[in-house]
Amino acid sequence: MGKKTPLYECHLEMNGKIVDFSGWDMPIHYGSQLNEHKQVRAEAGMFDVSHMTVLDMQGDNVKGFLSTLLANDIARLTQPGKALYSCMLNENGGVIDDLITYYMNDTFYRTVVNAATRIKDIAWITKVAHDFDVTITERTDLAMIAVQGPKARDIASKLLPSDLQASSLALKPFFAVESNNTFVARTGYTGEDGFEIMLPNDDAAPLWRKLAAAGVKPSGLGARDTLRLEAGMNLYGTDMDESITPLECGLNWTVAWEPSERNFIGRQALEAKKDNIDTQFSGLLLLDKGVIRNHQKVIVEQADGSTSEGEVTSGTFSPTLGQSIAMARIPKTKADRCWIEIRGKKLAAKIIKPVFVRNGKSCIEPR
Amino acid sequence: MSNIPTELKYSQTHEWIEIAHDGTGTVGITDHAQELLGDIVFVEVPEIGSEVSREEPCAVVESVKAASDIYAIVTGEIIEGNEELADAPETVNSNPYIDGWIYKIKIADESELDELMDAEAYQAFIDESEE
């Protein structure tokens, strides 16, 4: 018996197939992962992400704290509600977790971290916060529903409390608005437009049922994974972990080197490493039939005819493209082809940027 | 409740076999198996002419979730693979007992069939494994 979110009964009612996810009883699908995936790309789907950890960080020196804790620069957030994606690093530059932080006001930021890393994240954050006199409050009183897809905002905004209907629809991407403990952010993990809605636990099931009645299809963790992979979004624990720096998992863009005097945790290690990285984080498109899976071997042929090996970090079948895709850490190369070892056979794949589908459309150039 | 046709025989690894008049077998996976696997996106059928041994992996079914081995239900020689599945693997989900067959086999030892389950025994086997 795992932990249950306030939406657990809704999942059972809607035929959710329940699996264990980091100690939580969560729906993997409600009948067909493929249909759920396609529904999010075409119209709108919703995900229970209440298992994720919401942390409110408050104090006069909270900005200085986050400026030390995060590899991205919290000073980039100057407007209320604005969100920042960042990694939180250890002293070796390894990724403890990736997270989103929202600026509420100068003494109050809200961060959402992964469910699977909750305990170590809270331990680390609390330890770092100690020197800054910042209060960390875990918001277990809030549930979270991600409503994603081209029709998601139109449908969901009408079902929110009246004081959030217009303001939520007016949000720019990567902004949030809050009223009476309901927090609506125009963010997501699918490559589609949509909202992530945090709300009091007791309000979650009523909103979920209203969304379902309005045509938003319940979607499980299975579709969430294929959607994020098509969108080229990293998954913690799979594409990176504490032994991997952001420079080795395609997250260079989230490391703010300027201002140079900002001494975030892990900075020294990253600076020592940044000119000596011999891998690249790439997208792979399987040209043959088959399905690429995590940890399969990638063989790259270099210009001098030698071969070297890399590894698939996330692989799956792309429902939108109808072929298999992957993210992989491979030796640095100018080649645009590689081979993936699948059950003893070498299958050809194209090396591309790790973004496959955005806003319902393929990002892949035709072969 | 999954569908279990009475005219077929079943293995504990959720394959079925239908015996034709000429003694050859047609093999696929059960309705219960396709339900467990979820949406099927790729099927690797065995090569024609290959010799397979009972309970050894001989084909692979990949769902969006994971790859699963399909075990040879009896010992024999593969005489045909279902090439239609290359472009329509989802047939295994929608029609596992007819159009979703995976391979045809020339059975080496008919006595192996006696060790398979009939529909009633297979139903009991599923019920037991779900308890």
Q: How far is CA A246 from the centre of its chain?
A: 14
- Rounded distance, CA B93 to CA B16, Å? 14
- Rounded distance, CA A185 to CA B34, Å? 38
Q: What does the pLDDT read at residue B98? A: 96
Minimum-distance CB partner of A33 among B44, B64, B67: B64
CA-nearest residue of chain A to B43? A290
pLDDT in tens, A132-143: 999 999 999 999
C-beta atoms surrounding A336 within 10 Å:
10
pLDDT in tens, A195-224: 999 999 999 999 999 999 999 999 999 999
Which pair of tokens denotes residue A294?
A: 């995590």
Minimum-distance CB partner of A29 among B38, B42, B67: B38
Q: How far is CA A367 from the centre of its chain?
A: 29
At B127, the amino acid letter reads D
For residue A24, give the nearest of A123, A144, A188 by alpha carbon: A144
Which pair of tokens denotes residue A256?
A: 């703010």
Neighbour-count burial for A248-287, b at 16+ CB within 10 Å, e otherwise: bbbbeebbbeeeeebebbbbebbeeeeeeeebbbbbbbbe
Q: What does the pLDDT read at residue B131? A: 64
CB A232 within 8 A of CB A354: yes
Q: Give CA separation, A122 vs A54, A110, A244, in Å.
A: 10, 13, 20
CA-nearest residue of chain B to A33? B39
State the smallest CA–CA distance between residue A53 and chain B in angstroms: 25
Residues in chain B closer than 8 A to A290 (CB atoms):
42, 44, 62
For residue A197, give the nearest of A153, A245, A243 by alpha carbon: A153
Residues in chain A closer than 8 A to B65 (CB atoms):
28, 33, 222
B39 contacts chain A (CB < 8 A): yes
Q: Given this chain, do its domains A1-274 and A278-362 carry the same CATH topology?
A: no
Give me the CATH number covering residue B50: 2.40.50.100
- Domain of B22 in residue numbering reads as 9-116
Q: In the predicted model, what is the mean pLDDT of residues B38-42? A: 95
State the smallest CA–CA distance between residue A192 and chain B in angstroms: 20
CA-nearest residue of chain B to A222? B65
In a domain, B129, yes or no: no
Read out DSSP for A230-285? Answer: HTT---BTTTB-TTS-GGGTT-GGG----STT---TTHHHHHHHTT---EEEEEEE
The residue whose two tokens read 């809607």 is: A14
Q: What does the pLDDT read at residue A104? A: 97
Which pair of tokens denotes residue A98?
A: 């990736």
pLDDT mean across residues, chain B: 95
Q: In the predicted model, what is the mean pLDDT of residues B58-80? A: 95
Q: What does the pLDDT read at residue A365? A: 72
CB contact under 8 A, B42 and A226: no
For residue A176, give the nearest of A105, A113, A121, A127 by alpha carbon: A105
Domain count, chain B: 1
- Rounded distance, CA A194 to CA A153, Å? 5
pLDDT band for position B1 (cuts 50, 70, 90): low
Which pair of tokens denotes residue B26?
A: 């047609």
For residue A143, give the nearest of A208, A97, A223, A82 by alpha carbon: A208
In a domain, B49, yes or no: yes
Read out DSSP for B24-70? Answer: -EEEEE-HHHHHHH-SEEEEEPPPTT-EE-TTSEEEEEEESS-EEEE
CB B38 within 8 A of CB B15: no
Predicted-complex ipTM score: 0.85
- Looking only at the bridges linking them, the beta strands covering A217-218 and A45-48 are parallel
Which run of H or of E encompasses A142? strand A142-148
Interface test with B, best of A18, A33, A325 (most B CBs within 10 A): A33
CB A129 within 8 A of CB A136: yes
Query: What SS3 class is residue A32?
Result: coil
Peptide bond into A319 cis (omega under 30): no
Q: What does the pLDDT read at residue A221? A: 97
Which run of H or of E encompasses A336? none
CB B43 within 8 A of CB B62: yes
Give the count of alpha carbons within 13 A of B105, CB side only.
32
At B31, the amino acid letter reads D
CB A153 within 8 A of CB A169: yes
Domain A1-274 has CATH 3.30.479.30: no
Q: Where are the domains of chain A?
A: 1-274, 278-362
Minimum-distance CB partner of A33 among B39, B62, B67: B39
CB A200 within 8 A of CB A142: yes
Which pair of tokens denotes residue A364?
A: 């892949």
Residues in chain A closer than 8 A to B41 (CB atoms):
34, 291, 317
Chain A residues interacting with chain B (CB cutoff of 8 angstroms): 28-29, 32-34, 222, 226, 289-291, 293, 316-317, 319, 324, 343
Q: What does the pLDDT read at residue A1? A: 79
pLDDT in tens, B84-127: 999 999 999 999 999 999 999 999 999 999 999 999 999 999 99
pTM for this one? 0.94
Q: What does the pLDDT read at residue A366? A: 61
Instruction: Kindly give the parts of chain A with pLDDT less than 50.
Output: none
Q: What is the CATH number of domain A278-362?
A: 2.40.30.110
